[in-house]
Structure formats: C-alpha cells, structure tokens
Amino acid sequence: MIGRRTATVFGGSGFLGKYVVRKLAEDGYAVRVACRRTDLANDLRQLGDVGQVSPFYAPVQNEADVTTAVRGATVVINLAAILGGLSPAALNATNVEGASRVARLAAAAGVKTFVHMSAIGASSSSPAAYGRSRAAGEEEVLKHFPSATIVRASVLFGPEDHFFNMLGGVARYTPCVMPVYGAKTKLQPVYVADVAEAIRRIVAAFAETPATVSAICELGGPEILTMREIAERVLAMTGRTKPTFEVPPGLASLQALILERLPGGMLTRDQLKMLTVDNVVPGNLPGFHDLGMAPTAMDLVVPAYMKRYAVGGEKINDPYQGVEIK
C-alpha cells in the first residue's frame, strides 16, 4: 500500500498474532499476516482500512513463500512456533529451521527491525524438547539477524487461550477432584494483549533508528503462582468446590502417553517435562517496566471467560463477554 510502512507477521493468525496485527494496524502499518492457514486470517482484514491487512500464505518451512512475504517489509515479527507432540522433526522444522529461515531471508531483504517471539524457559539444557528448540531457534535468529530483539514470555492468558480454557474444561468435566500436573511448579501468567503491546513498543522504538545490537526482553504477569494455586483459582472462578489432586508422575506419564495421540494433544510427555521447571521471569533482563508498562492482573481478565465453565455456563457462548480486547 502506497505511503505505508510494511510489517510482516509470521504466525499472525494465531492467538498472540491477532493482537499484534491489531496493534500494528493501529500504528498505520500495512500488515502482511504470514501463515499456513490464510482462511484463519481473513477476519483480521477488518482491523484496518481496505487492503491494509492482508493474509499471506507463507509457512516458515517454505523458502520461496517466506522470501515473498518479507520482500519490501521494514519490520518482520516471527511468532510462528509449535508446542510439540509426537514429532521432534516437526518441532525442529518450525521452532528452529523456520525461525532461522525467516531471520536469514529478512536480513537478505534489508529488513530494518526484527522481533522473534520465544518463551521463558528457552535453554539448551531444558528437560523439554520444546525448551531446547526455543533456545536453538534464538541462536539461529541471532546468527542471521544480530540486531534482532528476542521476546520471551511466560504462559499467555486471554479469552482465546489454550491454558485457562483447558483448565476450565477440566474443572467442568472431571468428577470429584480437580487433577493438577506439576502442582508445585511456578508460573507467571501474562495477558496476551500486554505482550502484543510490548512488541508494538519495541517496534516503535526502532522504527526511526533500527537497533544495532540484539536485546532480550522477558515478560511475566504481576503474580507468580504454583500450578495448584492456579487450579484453585480456576475452581473459584467457576464456582466449583471439588478438591485438587496432584497427579503422581507415573500416572501423569501414562495419561500423557494416551492423550498426546488424541486430536488437540491436550497433554504430552514433553509438557510434563516442562512442568518440572518453574516458568517465571528471572528479573535480570529488561521487561515491562523498561517498556513503561505495568502488566494486567489475571483476575481482571480471566474470570469473565471462565464463566462458561461454571455450572450453567454452557449457555454462555460469547468468549469475549465482559472482556475488553485491546
């Protein structure tokens, strides 16, 4: 679009991506929503003027499609990632090779600003293949685009999230008790709209003067809670009084072995390994404070969409009821 700067968002049709696309469109960018399923991005067209937001078929595994998607862009944001399941090859193809390809081709295209979404817990020594793949993806990005900004976040919450919606479903459908996996593991849930705003501010900071060195930004919400505390909070939000039950590791592994083979992969063995390590911001790297932000409390957002998991909640069909989408 003539007169507009162009931003390409890989994984832009996903949970976080839709919020990021909205922010960039508000800032006047012509936004290319690069993804595998362009049909899932069609509703994003309405976030801007006619033609401002455009779905692009560009899986991060495809060299030619990625090249087309980054051509002429001044900003590239890579949000494409998978959590993992039965195929280590698929995890590597997206989280490592895909990240490497996007960074390499963005650099070759003369892109000025590159932001790569990673995760708290990304480490070559992570017990989970997901955490190791995220660390390897970061290394690949910085190898090809040394001035990239890496954004790591704890588990995201928001009306369309998988995490709290999954726990709400467990609270509704499991009889007698609320099963909890990794009960003592600490998480720092962070609002998806806050992470999108943080990315917007990072992009805005380098719009006029692109970064010359890399930076890592770690984002977590205002509360640190154990998995048991989160489960208890979900029970309270849904008005249920059943006790929590810490699932023993052996039984959890057996359940994951079965569940990871079902559509949706509600629980995998790799996720259980992730739950052996706390997922909180260490505090030694830039975060919300450095971006001039105060993260949103979980209790200001999550109860509104947990209502549908309460007794009688089946009648509530609107996942956004009572929630302001930023």
pLDDT of residue 2: 54
pLDDT of residue 319: 47
Chain CA centroid to CA 33, Å: 16
Taking alpha carbons only, the member of 90, 113, 110, 96 closest to residue 27 is 113
pLDDT of residue 43: 94
pLDDT of residue 81: 96
Taking alpha carbons only, the member of 138, 136, 133, 76 closest to residue 107 is 76
Longest Cα–Cα distance of the chain, Å, equals 61
Taking a C-beta distance cutoff of 8 angstroms, is the pair 34, 99 a contact?
no
Blockwise average pLDDT, block size 10, the chain, 326 residues: 83 96 96 95 93 96 97 97 81 96 98 97 95 97 97 97 95 94 97 98 90 93 98 96 95 89 80 94 93 97 96 60 47
Ramachandran angles phi, psi of 115, nearest 5°: -120, 130
Taking a C-beta distance cutoff of 8 angstroms, is the pair 110, 75 a contact?
no
pLDDT of residue 262: 77
β-pairing, 186-187 vs 225-226, is antiparallel
Residues in Cβ contact with 24 at an 8 Å cutoff, skipping those fewer than 6 apart: 7, 9, 31, 75, 200, 203
> How much is the pTM?
0.93
pLDDT of residue 259: 84
pLDDT of residue 325: 44
Domain boundaries, the chain: 6-156+190-219, 163-186+222-279+296-308
CATH, range 6-156+190-219: 3.40.50.720
Residues in Cβ contact with 95 at an 8 Å cutoff, skipping those fewer than 6 apart: 81, 82, 130, 133, 134, 136, 137
